[in-house]
A = this chain, B = another copy of it.
Amino acid sequence: MSAKFPIPNPSPLLLFFTILSILFYLTPIINSRTLRTVGSSSHLSDDSSITYLWPLPSEFTYGNETLVVDPSLSLSLFGNGGNSAIVREAFERYRTIIFKHVGSSKFGMRDLGYDITKLTVIVHSDNEELQLGVDESYTLLVAKNNGLSVIGEVTVEANTVYGALRGLETFSQLCGFDYGTKTVQIYKAPWFIKDKPRFAFRGLLLDTSRHYYPVDIIKQIIESMSYVKLNVLHWHIIDEESFPLEVPAYPKLWKGAYTKWERYTVEDAYEIVNFAKMRGINVMAEIDVPGHGESWGVGYPDLWPSTSCKEPLDVSKNFTFEVLSGILQDMREIFPFELFHLGGDEVNTDCWNNTPHVKQWLDDKNMTTKDAYEYFVLQAQEIAISKNWTPVNWEETFNTFPEKLNPRTVVHNWLGGGVCPKVVAQGLRCIYSNQGFWYLDHLDVQWDGVYDADPLEGISDSAEQDRVLGGEVCMWSETADPSNVQQTIWPRAASAAERLWSSKETAPRSNARVLRRLQYMRCLLTRRGVPASPVTNFYARSSPIGPGSCYDQ
């Protein structure tokens, strides 16, 4: 069912594509008049021409054939990275998804044979490190094997295993169960897809402090992220309300959890990171300092300036930074992603001034509270950098002391528009999460508002554009918990996912055809067990207003 052959030429991608393309265009089964090169949806005129892929690939052509896929579809792996467990497990997951309806059936037998019996995956690199900017590009060829092609049937080619994962997801979306023939079919073949992401950072924030999410729920969220090619789970682990994570260096910290059951062990965190990695998703952890830290003091009350001033954390004590360093040291073991989020938002320093020993310390240092806020953030950055992390901070840090931030800082926008342009103009990097569009707890933002937001808005210089790493939709959990989180995330996170993955030419703006595609994608999510909400309801996560088809709601 599988084999591994080294590809002799270490960099055969271009050659391979050339051969592929030649074979593809020569193949007699293809009527060239049916091929369309699709750059923007305006090339398409009727509904059957809608390409039901989400997010849209950057380049693709298709034909007019319908191919039938063998439920015993086999996998052949090639290349230096070919023997990867990441690819093998992904293939098994996608096989389960693709053949949901025919797997155990004795009724779906087909006498005529199948057009597609084999899936070939070629991965050139055996480097499985998952870092910012990892190569996620892939090509996907789907064509009937006519005996001429040595490539044949379905071929996913990628430089890394993570590109292969993206290609498998796209392939799975090309496959649909046909209820008439009870077979899995691919419409509009042959397909030739050449795809890569627009942005390296395509994130979703999950806040596990305002409400606790069991590991299974987090896994469900990660799994669903992979369906739209999101690639960063920003884990906002801790906030003032609860401290759910185990920190071996300071074992009383997770006394700040809501209950003894609402906690994550170190092993849970490893499990989450590994589960995400198998799906090509990084986990960016956040420790939000010095504000939002009240729960730290449940275990270590010395971290509170006083019992009437429980946050910001006590800037005057070395102990505060020792604990922070201990946390970051322990987390360095768990989270291999190079970005680490240090928060820094919504810091109200009033009560520092009202706490005698802190006030004394400020006076001794000749600092204002604003200076002390800067001092805290920069100290935290130093600690993170010393542990080989790239610090990420919410935009208030940039808005307050833009010149002082470490040059490696990634600034995380949230308060509104116009911030990333300033950040990148100053040479820093930026993540876009304008709350007016990409805060999922803003229930009155509809799918199209999310879709039309753009991380590059107001940035025309290409070097500056390059400093926008991407963007992130944020799922704050004041009113979200395991009961409604997926409904709040989906389908709107899919809007952002297409904005972040697809080129602006391919996916310029929302329109009725994009809506049809998103409704289709929402229904696809429900078929995969994800409780995605109706697309067109005014308020997010609201119930359908009456009976009807998933595809119309």
Q: Which residues from chain A sit less than 8 Å from chain B, CB to CB?
A: 100-102, 104-105, 107-108, 176-177, 179-180, 182, 209-212, 214-217, 219-220, 241-242, 246, 254, 258-263, 265-268, 271, 477-487, 523, 526-529, 531-534, 541, 543-553
Question: Shortest CB–CB separation between residue A100 and chain B, in angstroms?
Answer: 7
In the assembled complex, the Cα of A108 lies from the Cα of B105 at a distance in Å of 41
Contact between A107 and B266, CB atoms less than 8 A apart = yes
Can you show 23 pairs from A to B with CB atoms below 8 A apart? A101-B268, A104-B267, A107-B265, A179-B263, A211-B550, A212-B549, A212-B550, A217-B526, A220-B529, A241-B548, A242-B549, A258-B548, A258-B549, A258-B551, A259-B549, A262-B550, A262-B551, A480-B543, A481-B534, A481-B553, A483-B532, A483-B543, A541-B543
Question: Shortest CB–CB separation between residue A14 and chain B, in angstroms?
Answer: 39
Nearest residue (CB) in B for A106 is B267
In the assembled complex, the Cα of A101 lies from the Cα of B268 at a distance in Å of 7
Cβ–Cβ < 8 Å partners of A534 in chain B: 481, 483
In the assembled complex, the Cα of A538 lies from the Cα of B486 at a distance in Å of 22
Q: How many copies does the complex hold?
A: 2
Contact between B528 and A531, CB atoms less than 8 A apart = no
Contact between B483 and A531, CB atoms less than 8 A apart = yes
In the assembled complex, the Cα of A102 lies from the Cα of B270 at a distance in Å of 12
In the assembled complex, the Cα of A108 lies from the Cα of B268 at a distance in Å of 11
Nearest residue (CB) in B for A482 is B526
Cβ–Cβ < 8 Å partners of A219 in chain B: 529
Cβ–Cβ < 8 Å partners of A479 in chain B: 543-546
Cβ–Cβ < 8 Å partners of A481 in chain B: 526, 534, 543-544, 550, 553
Cβ–Cβ < 8 Å partners of A180 in chain B: 260
Contact between A482 and B105, CB atoms less than 8 A apart = no
Contact between B543 and A259, CB atoms less than 8 A apart = no
In the assembled complex, the Cα of A477 lies from the Cα of B544 at a distance in Å of 9
From A210, A241, A549, residue with most partner B Cβ within 10 Å = A549
